[in-house]
Structure 1
Amino acid sequence: MTNVLIIFTDLDGTLIDSDTYSYQNAIPVLNTLKNNQVPVIPVTSKTRLEVETLRQSLQINDPFIVENGSGIFVPLDYNDLTLPKSNQWGDYYLHRLGCTYAEARQGLEKIATALNEPLQGFGDMSEAEICHLTGLSSDEAKQAKAREFTEPFLTPKKVTPERLNKIVQDLGYRIVVGDRFCHLIGAGAGKGKAVQWLVDSYQSARPDAKITTLGLGNSPNDLEMLEVVDSPVIVPGNKGINPGLSGKGWQVAPAPGSQGWAEAVRGVVLSPP
């Protein structure tokens, strides 16, 4: 039986350093994975345009999961998966788990009405405002604003996460709550669901193979992904493990960011069978 390893990874603070946005420490390991034909699949809150830019820089040609598990993009020329010809989205096959961007915008309006409080999403902001709030460059803000399935919005300060979650669920959506931004996503979306769909697709294409999955993340936003992979790895921040991921008993990378990512992956790829 053939053994097939698939790596699922968060980007910011995991494969990419939080402070410098560098991934140079991971390049040698990424090259080894590519030579060994090990898929490296980004699983991120970023948009398709943001991930496309990064994939070009990293020379990764595998599928990728965007906007918190709302959309799975598989290149049309990707030969490791057998997928239907329908649902073509540009140069990709798209499997959508979440809602459309229009539906996310409508949902944000409904939530604001239910809260009786204005909510400001990316669709309400200019690129300059997004640059100011996030520290992104103008080009990066333009890519971040190119939403296709979800709507980030400023986290309301006067609303408890519990109340916000209840209203969102009652309206048929899900939410990922952050310190600065929340992400409104469709009820069927999620990083764990998206990862599982891709694993099942790989298994269908290779029914005689034994598929093993490695997942790397750094925040509670990655929890659903880490729960469905065979080998979850927590990448710590500069101040240690995110409290939302502590106490899981999972492997912890030996260093923050891309250095820790590289060392953790190297330990799996180069370990004896």
Structure 2
Amino acid sequence: MSSPPLLIFTDLDGTLLDAETYSYAAAQPLLEQLKAAHVPVIPVTSKTRAEVETFIQQLSLQTPFITENGSGVFIPVDYPAFERPEAAELVGNYWVLALGCTYVMARAGLKAVAQSVGRPLKGFGDLAVDQIQTLTGLAFEDAKEAKAREFTEPFLTPKNIAAADLEAAAADMGFRLVVGDRFSHLIGSEAGKGAAALELKALYQAASDRPLTTIGLGNSPNDIDLLENVDIAIVIPAATGPHPKLSDRGWQIAPQPGPAGWAIAVEKAWQQLDQ
């Protein structure tokens, strides 16, 4: 198979998946068309490998995917579109590019950051599965998958500490911080959704004699790193409109929330590229 001229990098929750129901039904017909045209749809998410595997099995996706805010790039062992990257290690059924730190390092880093800011910071490693259920609304098995971290440590975003102070403390310890409204994520300094997407683009491009175009889709501030590193950035709005931190950057805004807006925006961009 020759490498396709288009790559689609997409966040999941609130983007390809409905924010409330986690359904992707409105996008499924277009996903089938993209698959038939050999256009890779590559999840780029804060989710764990276990969470993404459940999703790609439902959709029968056979593409690489990016987990834990750009910390791990997972490439199926028999993936035909490009050569195995030299730096990748075999883990189960995947060649894995580990851009971030290990989970043990992230746990230790969170304790160090907490000590630095003088406030307790409660991470997923401090929580039982049923506590994660309560905080997230996930079903038990889904919460269990969310707790199966390999690279990063999500923690409850404290309300009494400025985001800049948390970010500075993380940087001092050699980490990066992705700050969210409810949860923030401590990640390795070399990790990031944008860096991971660029790694994959380079692999596809090396196997292609045609220049590749990348589309990126996201709905929240933790997608900024991805959207800044693609050719066409598309913001998926919430029911109340696009997130304020994404609305004024000159990026395209999908006409509807969730998978319906995802499908409309992607189909339009795809058609324009074909012209």
Q: Calculate the TM-score normalised by the size of structure 2.
A: 0.96
Tell me, yes or no, if the aligned pair for 2:85 and 2:203 is still in contact at 8 Å.
Answer: no
User: 1:9 and 1:182 mapped to 2: Cα distance?
Assistant: 20
Cα deviation 1:157-191 (Å, max 9, x = unaligned): 22111111111101100011111111000000000
Q: Pairwise mapping of residues 47-86 of structure 1 onto structure 2 (< 5 A)?
A: 47-84=48-85
Tell me, yes or no, if the aligned pair for 2:178 and 2:184 is still in contact at 8 Å.
Answer: yes
User: 1:84 and 1:65 mapped to 2: Cα distance?
Assistant: 15
Q: 1:3 to 1:82 in 2, by over 3 A?
A: closer
Q: Pairwise mapping of residues 202-241 of structure 1 onto structure 2 (< 5 A)?
A: 202-206=204-208, 208-241=209-242
Measure how far apart 1:117 and its partner are: 1.9
More divergent stretch after superposition (67-76 vs 213-222): 213-222
Which residue of the other structure, out of 182, 193, 207, is the alignment partner of 2:184? 182
User: 2:173 and 2:198 mapped to 1: Cα distance?
Assistant: 26
Cα deviation 1:62-98 (Å, max 9, x = unaligned): 0000000000000001010101475101100000110
Aligned to 2:256: 255
User: 1:60 and 1:52 mapped to 2: Cα distance?
Assistant: 9
- Specify the code of the residue in structure 2 equivalent to 1:129: Q
Q: Pairwise mapping of residues 22-171 of structure 1 onto structure 2 (< 5 A)?
A: 22-84=23-85, 87-171=89-173
Measure how far apart 1:116 and its partner are: 2.1
Q: Calculate the TM-score normalised by the size of structure 1.
A: 0.97
SS in 2 for 1:244: coil
Cα deviation 1:6-44 (Å, max 9, x = unaligned): 100000010001011111000000000000000000000
Cα deviation 1:181-206 (Å, max 9, x = unaligned): 11000000000100011101111122
User: 2:119 and 2:8 mapped to 1: Cα distance?
Assistant: 41
Measure how far apart 1:48 and its partner are: 0.3
Measure how far apart 1:3 and its partner are: 6.2
User: 1:155 and 1:69 mapped to 2: Cα distance?
Assistant: 20
Tell me, yes or no, if the aligned pair for 1:33 and 1:39 is still in contact at 8 Å.
Answer: yes
Tell me, yes or no, if the aligned pair for 1:3 and 1:210 is still in contact at 8 Å.
Answer: no
Extract structure 1 runs of 4+ deviating beyond 3 A: none
- Specify the code of the residue in structure 2 equivalent to 1:15: L
SS in 2 for 1:108: helix
What's the C-alpha RMSD, in Å, of the aligned pairs? 1.4
User: 1:134 and 1:193 mapped to 2: Cα distance?
Assistant: 28
Measure how far apart 1:230 and its partner are: 0.8
SS in 2 for 1:243: coil
User: 1:109 and 1:58 mapped to 2: Cα distance?
Assistant: 38
- Specify the code of the residue in structure 2 equivalent to 1:63: P
Cα deviation 1:88-128 (Å, max 9, x = unaligned): 01100000110000000010111111122221110010000
Measure how far apart 1:268 and its partner are: 2.2
User: 1:3 and 1:74 mapped to 2: Cα distance?
Assistant: 16
User: 1:230 and 1:120 mapped to 2: Cα distance?
Assistant: 37
Tell me, yes or no, if the aligned pair for 2:72 and 2:151 is still in contact at 8 Å.
Answer: yes
Q: 1:162 to 1:84 in 2, by over 3 A?
A: closer
Measure how far apart 1:249 and its partner are: 1.4
- Specify the code of the residue in structure 1 equivalent to 2:159: K
Measure how far apart 1:210 and its partner are: 1.5
Counting aligned pairs with the same residue, the percent is: 53
- Specify the code of the residue in structure 1 equivalent to 2:150: E
User: 1:23 and 1:172 mapped to 2: Cα distance?
Assistant: 37
User: 1:212 and 1:190 mapped to 2: Cα distance?
Assistant: 20
User: 1:189 and 1:224 mapped to 2: Cα distance?
Assistant: 10
Unaligned runs of 5+ residues in structure 1 are none
User: 2:97 and 2:62 mapped to 1: Cα distance?
Assistant: 17
- Specify the code of the residue in structure 2 equivalent to 1:227: E
